[in-house]
A = this chain, B = another copy of it.
Amino acid sequence: MCELLGMSANVPTDIVFSFTGLMQRGGRTGPHRDGWGIGFYEGRGLRLFQDPSASAESEVARLVQQYPIKSEVVIGHIRQANVGKVALANTHPFVREMWGRNWCFAHNGQLADFQPAPGFYRPVGDTDSEAAFCDLLNRLRAAFPEPADIEALLPTLIEACREYRRKGVFNCLLSDGDWLFSCCSTKLVQITRRAPFGPARLKDADLTVDFQAETTPNDVVTVLATEALTDNEDWIVHQPGQWTLWRGGECIAEGCDTLSD
């Protein structure tokens, strides 16, 4: 399995603290040694760092920790390979341009025997995750030949996620740089940090940050992760079927889509 990391904020914010915790799980405090990646939106541009090696030992991961990139939306992932060999092409997050925007996607879980019909978007690597991402975009484009707001797309998106959840485990993060969408199948937690800010202590590394010293009173920053990254804060646990939509650190829509038999 893998671990996910997402951030939505109302001001450009660096994610060095959370990223530093997550990276330890890629070979040091966790078994996810088969690559890692992180995408930072910068306006409509997307800065993607990936490495098919263990994040705890990756030169590129070290750079990302030393070089605080400020972003309003971030999607990160560390991989423990199930489907698809260890290779750059199989490393999350995956990116495709749709409607003149960079769509970025990361998946935790596994879909059994997933063979979607080939469409316009096709996987480059051989993971079930990338195949699901391509299928999702193909469905959205089939339903909406021209660009549509996320609010209009949501029912199609949720319906697609339901189908993927029927085929296995499908925790995911998705963004077009404006909003951040999550879908929980088995495991996802969230924390929203806003004034009054306090100190936060990483679970996986000997690191504490005083967010009060690093933020302004108006900052709102939400972090989503597979498992809580700090041990002195209350992370909210998502339920199976729960989806959320974030913009500027705030939840703008959410729901729970329970699978019926």
Contact = CB atoms under 8 A, between A and B. Distances in A.
Interface of A: 42-48, 50, 52, 59-60, 63, 67, 87-91, 95-97, 99-102, 120-125
Contacts of A44: 87, 89, 124-125
Given A60-B67, A63-B60, A67-B60, A45 B97 contact: no
A60 B49 CA distance: 11
Nearest to A123: B100
Contact of A47 (B43, B88, B120): B88
Contacts of A87: 42-45
B125 A45 contact: yes
A63 B69 CA distance: 15
Contact of A122 (B52, B97, B122): B97
A45 B89 contact: yes
A252 to B, nearest CB: 23
A245 to B, nearest CB: 21
Given A45-B89, A97-B122, 17 more contacts: A42-B52, A42-B87, A42-B89, A43-B88, A44-B89, A45-B91, A47-B50, A48-B48, A59-B67, A60-B63, A63-B63, A95-B95, A97-B124, A100-B122, A100-B123, A100-B124, A120-B120
A79 to B, nearest CB: 13
Name the 4 nearest CB pairs between A and B, nearest first. A45-B88, A45-B89, A100-B122, A42-B88
A162 to B, nearest CB: 26
B63 A59 contact: yes
A47 B45 CA distance: 16
A97 B125 contact: no
Contacts of A95: 95
Contacts of A60: 63, 67
A59 B100 CA distance: 28
